[in-house]
């Protein structure tokens, strides 16, 4: 392996089935389990339930890293890749893959935005964040870093939890679904206290989409896919993930959020990254036409991206050199997406190393680690 330090900017965890029983206080456990649960299906497979209703079948796909769907159709969430569930085995898998450090985003925890009761959502966010902090501590806190989830159902509660997760638990990032929350877009002024809090805490914001219909977004426009097995919901993954990020990036730009909070660092994840080249170019052209329509934005989209945005790409994206050239070598970051079935495993890091060699050594080092280090403000060890 070349003299490189590989930093996975977007890995995932597989939460334990008894998360709420272990980390929520007894008087709230029943409500938490009703609000969000992973349940076995009689026909095989696992499903997410939200507020007691079926949200998505086939979610065991999240845990069967690199496997063909036919091999796990009737298997269960907890039967997937052991390194997704066990903190010690996670480090072994990283060693085997040649990954020095990883930032871990939720899987099941991502649907917190669909919980109706803000106070309960805050309780569950706190429980999840305590659990992921323990997971990282039991793994290797110098190599594995958790990402906080927050109850954006109530902005004040979200501010409290990101503050606690950052100052008490040492989280380096907070996840935000790039969707409407309570029917409101993220550029609405009501969210400004949260963006200000994240900026003041110097914590990165990871815009991470999910292919579910629990919150408003692109996936609510493709309703015919609702409740079908996750391995068959092609449009939810194909269209929903990048389009939710595209729309959110545009709103954060043209809604003036990035201008109001110029020190806010934001990553756009889980959606490949090739779309960003076209999208930033298109937004730049619209910005240049402000003499036709006045917009609440003072800084050009290309400048904003260079100043405070990061774009995650998979290791095999053909447009990688073009993205680096058009929107900047300092904003591209690599993600494994482990342990999802559609990610490459084993061999994700090696694939990224081989494919990114065309960038040249200097830019390759940025893509595979240095840029993620700047995003999360986590110092990298020496290359091995």
Distances in Å between the Cα of 328 and the Cα atoms of 206, 307, 375 are: 19, 10, 14
- DSSP class of residue 345 equals -
For residue 172, give the nearest of 227, 102, 224, 225 by alpha carbon.
Answer: 102
Determine the pLDDT at residue 155: 98
DSSP string across 148-173: B---TTSHHHHHHHHHHHHHTT---E
Mean pLDDT of each 10-residue bin along the chain, 384 residues long: 85 97 98 98 96 94 93 95 96 97 97 98 98 97 96 98 98 97 96 98 97 89 55 69 96 96 98 96 89 76 98 96 96 97 94 97 97 97 66
Distances in Å between the Cα of 137 and the Cα atoms of 22, 142, 146, 226 are: 17, 9, 10, 37
- The pTM (predicted TM-score) of the whole model is 0.95
- Domains of the chain in start order, with CATH, are 7-376 (3.20.20.140)
Structure tokens at 66: 């690199």
What 136-139 contacts at long range (C-beta under 8 Å, 24+ apart), as own/partner pairs, is 136/87, 136/104, 138/87, 138/88, 139/87, 139/88, 139/90, 139/91
d(CA 32, CA 86) in angstroms, rounded, equals: 23
Determine the pLDDT at residue 228: 52
Determine the pLDDT at residue 289: 82
Distances in Å between the Cα of 173 and the Cα atoms of 12, 76, 202, 372, 380 are: 14, 30, 9, 12, 16
Determine the pLDDT at residue 59: 95
d(CA 353, CA 355) in angstroms, rounded, equals: 6
Determine the pLDDT at residue 194: 98
Determine the pLDDT at residue 231: 41
């Amino acid at each position: 392996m070349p003299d490189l330090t590989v930093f996975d900017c977007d890995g995932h965890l597989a939460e334990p089935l008894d998360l709420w029983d272990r980390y929520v206080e007894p008087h709230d456990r029943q409500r938490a389990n009703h609000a969000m649960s992973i349940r076995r299906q009689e026909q095989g497979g696992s499903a997410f339930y939200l507020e007691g209703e079926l949200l998505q079948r086939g979610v065991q796909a999240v845990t069967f890293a690199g496997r063909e769907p036919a091999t796990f159709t009737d298997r269960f969430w907890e039967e997937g890749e052991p390194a997704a569930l066990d903190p010690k085995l996670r480090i072994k898998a990283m060693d085997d893959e040649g990954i020095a450090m990883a930032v871990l985003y939720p899987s099941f925890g991502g649907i917190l935005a669909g919980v109706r009761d803000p106070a309960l959502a805050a309780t569950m966010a706190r429980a999840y964040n305590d659990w992921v902090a323990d997971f990282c501590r039991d793994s290797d806190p110098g190599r594995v870093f958790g990402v906080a989830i927050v109850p954006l159902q109530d902005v004040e509660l979200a501010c409290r939890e990101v503050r606690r997760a950052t100052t008490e638990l040492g989280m380096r990032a907070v996840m935000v679904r790039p969707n409407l929350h309570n029917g409101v877009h993220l550029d609405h002024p009501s969210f400004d206290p949260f963006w200000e809090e994240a900026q003041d805490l110097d914590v990165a914001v990871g815009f991470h989409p999910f292919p579910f219909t629990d919150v408003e977004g692109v996936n609510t426009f493709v309703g015919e896919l609702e409740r079908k097995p996750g391995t068959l919901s092609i449009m939810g993954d194909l269209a929903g993930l990048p389009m939710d990020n595209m729309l959110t990036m545009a709103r954060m730009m043209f809604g003036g959020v990035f201008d109001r909070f110029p020190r806010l660092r934001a990553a756009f994840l889980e959606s490949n990254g090739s779309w960003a080249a076209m999208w930033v170019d298109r937004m730049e052209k619209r910005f240049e036409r402000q003499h036709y329509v006045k917009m609440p934005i003072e800084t050009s989209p290309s400048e904003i991206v260079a100043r405070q945005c990061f774009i995650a790409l998979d290791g095999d994206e053909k447009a990688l050199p073009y993205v680096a050239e058009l929107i900047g070598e300092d904003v591209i970051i690599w993600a494994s997406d482990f342990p999802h079935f559609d990610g490459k495993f084993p061999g994700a890091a090696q694939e990224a190393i081989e494919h990114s060699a065309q960038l040249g050594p200097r830019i390759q080092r940025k893509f595979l680690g240095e840029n993620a280090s700047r995003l999360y403000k986590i110092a990298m060890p020496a290359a091995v």
